[in-house]
Structure 1
Amino acid sequence: MKKFYYLAISILALNFATSCADNDVISNDDDGGETGDIITKTGILTADETWTANNIYVLSGKVVVDEGVTLTINKGTIIKGAEGQLSLASALVIDQGGKLMAEGTAQEPIIFTSILDDIQVGQTRGSNLTMANSGLWGGVIVLGKAPISVSGDIQTNRIEGLPATESYGEYGGNVSNDNSGVLKYISIRHGGISIATDNEINGLTLGGVGSSTVIDNIEVVANQDDSIEWFGGTVNVSNVLTYGQGDDGLDADEAWSGTINNALVILGADSDSALELDGPAGSSATEGGYTIQNVTIIGDAGGTSKYADLRDGLIANMNNILAYGFSATATVKVNGADSQTELTNGRIAFSKWEIVLPSGVTLPSIITGALPGDEAKFLNNATAIASPSVATVGANTTVFSWTYAAYLNAF
């Protein structure tokens, strides 16, 4: 593996002498070194750093932004995760008290991808990887000090996807407005490697992230596990696109209490739920719950995905949802007695769902697991429509024209 790693680095260095004519090119005027430098990063960053778009940065194993440290990533910068299995998987980790200031633009997004991707400085995409290439590296993990709800009602916990033996990886606390930085116009591709059975790294993991953190215009493509997962916290997220993940599109856990506004979730044949929405894992729950609004979910007619899996007594508001392209077996599943109770009590709330039904499917067959009579709480707020073109709800997809998924004609 080590020999292959150094060979991959050498190939990348040689490739910088040329560029693929059919790739989009982005300009930049950064002065962070010679154009085309490959800068390898590993371990814990103990001082502020700035990564610039005229270089490519390679994550060798875990790169951790320590408490009190700020990592600034300039617009247009490309970051590649090295290969590494299990606990050696590469990832960028923003530890509690650290900050990531990563502000791309629609013209010059910040791109996280695999070292095997032949994308070069000044490009927005490579030419050699496909949607089938997932799990090639880890992902981006942001850890804050906002409240969580976990088993045992402990205030802090260790995030999944990281080895338990490391000095970093805690999340949670009592700082609702905690600030882990700014993430804007970021594309995360081909990640989601497992470090153990049922212990994978998501494309973007948000553990106890606070409401002063800004997360806007995020894309996750071809991730092996969930695209984005919230573990508690209070952070709001807007303009999110996920495409072709191996598990769930948007996954909320541990009494997260923020808002998702304007999201496009595009499932692949192997995807599970567009929305996997969990409640608290401990006894504490946020009474207002979380809100998911202005969302379009696009299924794979040949897959076995669900529209939504509502679990563990979640408290949530799901408003202005457009769904189409799903198989005849797809459901909105009320999963377990706790969730049944919250639906009965009106703390699972649906508003303005529009669904293009598969042939032979009726709206009543979509909602499953609800107690008798509670199906109406969904059915009274859902409408069958003939095609997406007549929808009056869902995401504003025009804001996603900058994404890799748009180039791939995924929507």
Structure 2
Amino acid sequence: MKKLVLSLTLFSLILSSCTSSDDEGTTAPTLGSGELSGDATVSKSYIKGNYTLVGVVKIKSGTTLTFDAGSTITADVSNGFDAILVENGGKLIMNGTAAEPIVCTHITKVSGSWGGIIMYGDAPIVGAASVATANSEDGITTVVGGVSIPYSYGGTNQTHNGGSLKYVRVEYAGKKITDGTAELNGFSFYAVGSGTVLENLVSYKGNDDGFEFYGGTVSATNLISYGNADDSFDWQDGWRGELNSNWYAYQVGVANFGMEIEAKGINNAFGPKVSNITLKRAVGTITEGGSSAAEYDAIQFKKQGNGEYTNVLISGYLTTGATAVRIQDLATNTDQVNGNKIKLLGVKILDAATTASAGATGITVAFPAANYVINTTATGAALTPGAWATVDGVNLLQ
């Protein structure tokens, strides 16, 4: 098995001066550097430093990789396909701070240049045809018995723990291997469980979704999805996180839905809960598919997607035909809207021209009054600016 290769170049600079009073010298902090590559089979801790990502680093079961606050990990297109991948049973600990985030970026600063952070678990999913496990859609494989197969995700471990991500920024990810069948996001969470910590994360200018949840029970707080070319937030496979709050999306240039919500066509008895949401779209933003693709709504429910969303602020979804909330198919309208499984409690739409809700062609949507409540005092996400939410001197929350 290919081992994780890490060459740490440790350097220290000793500044001293010889004086008549024999002052002692001072030592500058030691910084780490080197390459990350291959399969991680031994737990390691990396001091604050600048590291280069070479290929797909796979954190194997039973292994924990820990990075200090203030570290930067840079992928390089010349090395081929790059990603940080946590297998089920492995753990990634990246606990940055507001002042010293951990930044995972790409040397070219071009959207879609690498695969971002991918995490697999065995928390419950409900996939198509109600299956409890499924194969990932990222196109990455693992070797079992000498044969390369797709990664599988899903199980019964609701408290699966894939580690802790705090104050982590992923930049220029969202690589597409094959459009529609092998795509990656800024952050991809496959059947990740509630034992995993996701706090203060930024997905910046990726070429696919900012954050995507494939089933699982994990919740996430203080998320920023900025300038991602597909959906800001997306989920499927019966994701059921209930402790989510403070989600902020800003779409600019090319983007589709603010939130794309689906459940693989399964009418689940449960759904996620998210409070304090801001969805903003800059003037002139177009969809991935151009003017012919009607993927410009703030929130789209389809394939039995549902859930409860509280304190929602929506602005800028002004493309002709766009709406704040779209119900895409008849089954979702019948089972989720009329079945009281979609609740939008406290929605403020800043643009008078934006329709509150609508159905796809031939679908008449009529939310029960208690399930879609307009509130002109809704405030949306409440996030604190800082280095963690600043890129090239630009405050992403401004």
| TM-score band w.r.t. shorter chain | 0.7 to 0.9
Alpha-carbon RMSD across the aligned residues, in angstroms, is 2.6
Structure 1 segment 54-65 matched on structure 2, within 5 A: 54=49, 56-65=50-59
Would you say the 8 A contact 1:350–1:377 is kept in 2? no
Question: 2:74 is aligned with what amino acid?
Answer: K
Q: Which residue of 1 aligns with 2:159?
A: 177
- What secondary structure is seen at the aligned counterpart in 1 of 2:332? helix
- CA gap of 1:164–1:380, structure 2 versus 1, over 3 A, is closer
Question: 2:39 is aligned with what amino acid?
Answer: I
- Using the TM superposition, give the Cα deviation of residue 212 of structure 1 relative to its aligned residue in structure 2, in angstroms: 0.9
Would you say the 8 A contact 1:75–1:103 is kept in 2? yes
Q: Which residue of 2 aligns with 1:256?
A: 239
What is the TM-score normalised by the length of structure 2?
Answer: 0.82
Q: Which residue of 2 aligns with 1:74?
A: 68
Q: Which residue of 2 aligns with 1:21?
A: none
Would you say the 8 A contact 2:76–2:107 is kept in 1? yes
- Shifted more, 337-346 versus 151-160: the winner is 151-160
- Shifted more, 166-175 versus 182-191: the winner is 166-175
- CA gap of 1:238–1:175, structure 2 versus 1, over 3 A, is same
Would you say the 8 A contact 2:338–2:368 is kept in 1? no
1:216 pairs, out of 185, 188, 199, with 199
- Using the TM superposition, give the Cα deviation of residue 380 of structure 1 relative to its aligned residue in structure 2, in angstroms: 4.9
Would you say the 8 A contact 2:197–2:220 is kept in 1? yes
Task: Indicate whether 1:192 and 2:174 are aligned.
Answer: yes
Q: Which residue of 2 aligns with 1:109?
A: 101
**Where does structure 1 lack aligned partners over 5 or more consecutive residues?**
1-12, 14-27, 117-128, 386-390
- Using the TM superposition, give the Cα deviation of residue 406 of structure 1 relative to its aligned residue in structure 2, in angstroms: 9.2
* CA displacement, residues 369-391 of structure 1 (integer Å, 9 cap, x when unaligned): 395461465995125x5xxxxx4
Structure 1 segment 292-371 matched on structure 2, within 5 A: 292-304=274-286, 305-329=296-320, 330-331=322-323, 332-341=325-334, 342-358=336-352, 361=353, 363=355, 366-369=357-360, 371=363
Separation (CA, whole Å) in 2 of partners of 1:237 and 1:140: 15
- What secondary structure is seen at the aligned counterpart in 2 of 1:402? helix
Separation (CA, whole Å) in 2 of partners of 1:49 and 1:284: 43
- CA gap of 1:347–1:378, structure 2 versus 1, over 3 A, is same
Q: Which residue of 2 aligns with 1:20?
A: none
Separation (CA, whole Å) in 1 of partners of 2:84 and 2:90: 12
2:263 pairs, out of 265, 269, 279, with 279
- Using the TM superposition, give the Cα deviation of residue 172 of structure 1 relative to its aligned residue in structure 2, in angstroms: 1.1
Q: Which residue of 2 aligns with 1:163?
A: 140
What is the TM-score normalised by the length of structure 1?
Answer: 0.79
Structure 1 segment 93-104 matched on structure 2, within 5 A: 93-104=85-96
1:403 pairs, out of 381, 389, 392, with 389
- Using the TM superposition, give the Cα deviation of residue 84 of structure 1 relative to its aligned residue in structure 2, in angstroms: 6.0
**Where does structure 2 lack aligned partners over 5 or more consecutive residues?**
1-8, 10-26, 145-149, 287-295
Question: 1:110 is aligned with what amino acid?
Answer: I
Would you say the 8 A contact 1:290–1:316 is kept in 2? yes
- CA gap of 1:402–1:42, structure 2 versus 1, over 3 A, is closer
- What secondary structure is seen at the aligned counterpart in 2 of 1:306? coil
* CA displacement, residues 260-317 of structure 1 (integer Å, 9 cap, x when unaligned): 2111100113100010111145x573x2310121011111222252111111101211
Task: Indicate whether 1:42 and 2:37 are aligned.
Answer: yes
Question: 1:275 is aligned with what amino acid?
Answer: M
- CA gap of 1:335–1:84, structure 2 versus 1, over 3 A, is farther
Structure with the higher strand share, 1 or 2: 2
Would you say the 8 A contact 1:239–1:262 is kept in 2? yes
Separation (CA, whole Å) in 2 of partners of 1:313 and 1:380: 17
Separation (CA, whole Å) in 2 of partners of 1:379 and 1:156: 32
Separation (CA, whole Å) in 2 of partners of 1:206 and 1:166: 21
- Shifted more, 59-68 versus 163-172: the winner is 163-172
Would you say the 8 A contact 2:45–2:66 is kept in 1? yes
- CA gap of 1:405–1:375, structure 2 versus 1, over 3 A, is farther
Would you say the 8 A contact 2:347–2:378 is kept in 1? no
- CA gap of 1:374–1:143, structure 2 versus 1, over 3 A, is same
Question: 2:337 is aligned with what amino acid?
Answer: L
- What secondary structure is seen at the aligned counterpart in 1 of 2:156? coil
Question: 2:285 is aligned with what amino acid?
Answer: G
Separation (CA, whole Å) in 2 of partners of 1:378 and 1:324: 23
- CA gap of 1:289–1:399, structure 2 versus 1, over 3 A, is farther
* CA displacement, residues 129-184 of structure 1 (integer Å, 9 cap, x when unaligned): 4xxx2112211001111011112443322222133464573221100011111110
- Using the TM superposition, give the Cα deviation of residue 196 of structure 1 relative to its aligned residue in structure 2, in angstroms: 1.5
- Using the TM superposition, give the Cα deviation of residue 362 of structure 1 relative to its aligned residue in structure 2, in angstroms: 5.4
Task: Indicate whether 1:143 and 2:127 are aligned.
Answer: no
Would you say the 8 A contact 1:243–1:405 is kept in 2? no
Question: 2:58 is aligned with what amino acid?
Answer: V
- CA gap of 1:400–1:145, structure 2 versus 1, over 3 A, is farther
Separation (CA, whole Å) in 2 of partners of 1:179 and 1:373: 39
Between structure 1 and structure 2, the one with the greater Rg is: 2
- What secondary structure is seen at the aligned counterpart in 2 of 1:338? helix
Question: 1:146 is aligned with what amino acid?
Answer: A
Runs of 4+ in 1 over 2 A off after TM superposition: 28-31, 151-158, 162-170, 366-373, 375-380, 397-402, 404-407
